[in-house]
Amino acid sequence: MKIIDAKVIVCSPGRNFVTLKITTQSGIYGIGDATVNGRELSVVSYLEDHLLPTLIGRDARRIEDIWQYFYRGAYWRRGPITMAAISAIDMALWDIKAKAASMPLYELLGGKARDKVLVYGHANGINLEDSVEEVGKYLDKGYKAIRVQSGIPGLEDTYGVAPEKMYYEPAKGNLPQECIWDTHKYLNFIPKVFEKVRDTYGYEPHLLHDSHHRLSPIEAASLGKMLEPYRLFWLEDTVHAELQEGFEIIRKHTTTPLAVGEVFNTVYDCHHLITNQLIDYIRTTSTHAGGITGLRKIAALADVFHVKTGCHGATDISPIGLAACFHFDISINNFGIQEFMRHEEKIEEVFPNSYIFKDGYVTLDENKIGLGVDIDEQLAAKYPYERKYLPVNRLEDNSMWNW
Ligand code: GCO
Ligand code: MG
Give CA–CA dist 403/401, Å, rounded: 6
CB-based burial label for 167 (10 Å; 0-12, 13-18, 19+):
middle
pLDDT bin (cut points 50, 70, 90) of residue 330 is: very high
User: In what side-by-side order are the strands of the sheet with 29-33?
Assistant: 3-11, 17-24, 29-33
Query: What pLDDT, on the 0 to 100 scale, is given for residue 174?
Result: 87
Examine the residue annotation and report whether 159 is marked as an active-site residue of this protein: yes
pLDDT for residue 288 is more than 90:
yes
pLDDT bin (cut points 50, 70, 90) of residue 162 is: confident
pLDDT for residue 50 is more than 80:
yes
Residue 33 near ligand 1, beta carbon < 6 Å? no
Out of 122, 212, 288, 343, pick the active-site residue: 212
In the three-class reduction of DSSP (H, G, I as helix; E, B as strand; rest coil), residue 10 is classed as strand
User: 288, 312 in Cβ contact below 8 A?
Assistant: yes
pLDDT for residue 158 is more than 90:
no
pLDDT for residue 164 is more than 80:
no
pLDDT digits (tens, 9 = 90+) for 93-119: 999 999 999 999 999 999 999 999 999
Please report, for residues 74, 78, 262, 390, the alpha-carbon distance to residue 46 in angstroms, rounded to integers and kept in the order given. Answer: 12, 13, 21, 21
Of all atoms in ligand 1, which is nearest to the CA of residue 314? Answer: 8
DSSP-derived secondary structure letter, 166? G
pLDDT digits (tens, 9 = 90+) for 14-44: 999 999 999 999 999 999 999 999 999 999 9
Query: What pLDDT, on the 0 to 100 scale, is given for residue 160?
Result: 85
Query: What pLDDT, on the 0 to 100 scale, is given for residue 114?
Result: 98
User: 222, 253 in Cβ contact below 8 A?
Assistant: yes
Mean pLDDT of 249-266: 98
Kind and range of the H or E run holding 149:
strand 145-150
Residue 147 near ligand 1, beta carbon < 6 Å? no
pLDDT bin (cut points 50, 70, 90) of residue 233 is: very high
pLDDT for residue 61 is more than 80:
yes
User: 197, 125 in Cβ contact below 8 A?
Assistant: no
Distance 262 CA to ligand 1 centre (A): 8
What number of other Cβ atoms are within 10 A of residue 242's Cβ? 10
pLDDT digits (tens, 9 = 90+) for 295-319: 999 999 999 999 999 999 999 999 9
pLDDT for residue 326 is more than 80:
yes
Distance 73 CA to ligand 2 centre (A): 31
Please report, for residues 48, 145, 152, 189, 287, the alpha-carbon distance to residue 96 in angstroms, rounded to integers and kept in the order given. Answer: 20, 33, 47, 49, 17
Residue 339 near ligand 1, beta carbon < 6 Å? yes
Distance 11 CA to ligand 1 centre (A): 20
pLDDT for residue 165 is more than 80:
no
Query: What pLDDT, on the 0 to 100 scale, is given for residue 278?
Result: 98
Query: What pLDDT, on the 0 to 100 scale, is given for residue 172?
Result: 83
Closest-approaching ligand to the CA atom of 317: 1
Closest Cα to atom 12 of ligand 1: 314
Give CA–CA dist 150/128, Å, rounded: 6
pLDDT for residue 227 is more than 90:
yes
Residue 95 near ligand 1, beta carbon < 6 Å? no
Query: What pLDDT, on the 0 to 100 scale, is given for residue 159?
Result: 87
53: left (phi over 0), alpha (psi -120 to 50) or beta: alpha
Give CA–CA dist 75/176, Å, rounded: 32
Q: What percent of the chain has pLDDT over 70?
A: 100
Mean pLDDT of 266-283: 98
Pocket test for ligand 1, best of 17, 168, 172, 210 (most atoms within 8 A of CB): 210
Residue 39 near ligand 1, beta carbon < 6 Å? no
pTM of the shown model = 0.98
Average pLDDT, the chain: 97
Give CA–CA dist 261/273, Å, rounded: 10
Give CA–CA dist 306/258, Å, rounded: 12
Higher per-residue confidence, 17 vs 172: 17
Closest Cα to atom 1 of ligand 1: 314
DSSP secondary structure of 214-238: -S-HHHHHHHHHHHGGG--SEEE--
Examine the residue annotation and report whether 138 is marked as an active-site residue of this protein: no
Closest-approaching ligand to the CA atom of 159: 1
pLDDT digits (tens, 9 = 90+) for 182-193: 999 999 999 999
Give CA–CA dist 382/379, Å, rounded: 5
pLDDT for residue 381 is more than 90:
yes
pLDDT for residue 144 is more than 90:
yes
Query: What pLDDT, on the 0 to 100 scale, is given for residue 169?
Result: 83
Residue 262 near ligand 1, beta carbon < 6 Å? yes
Give CA–CA dist 272/246, Å, rounded: 11
Query: What pLDDT, on the 0 to 100 scale, is given for residue 44?
Result: 98
277: left (phi over 0), alpha (psi -120 to 50) or beta: left
Closest Cα to atom 2 of ligand 1: 314
Query: What pLDDT, on the 0 to 100 scale, is given for residue 380?
Result: 98
pLDDT bin (cut points 50, 70, 90) of residue 49 is: very high
pLDDT for residue 123 is more than 80:
yes
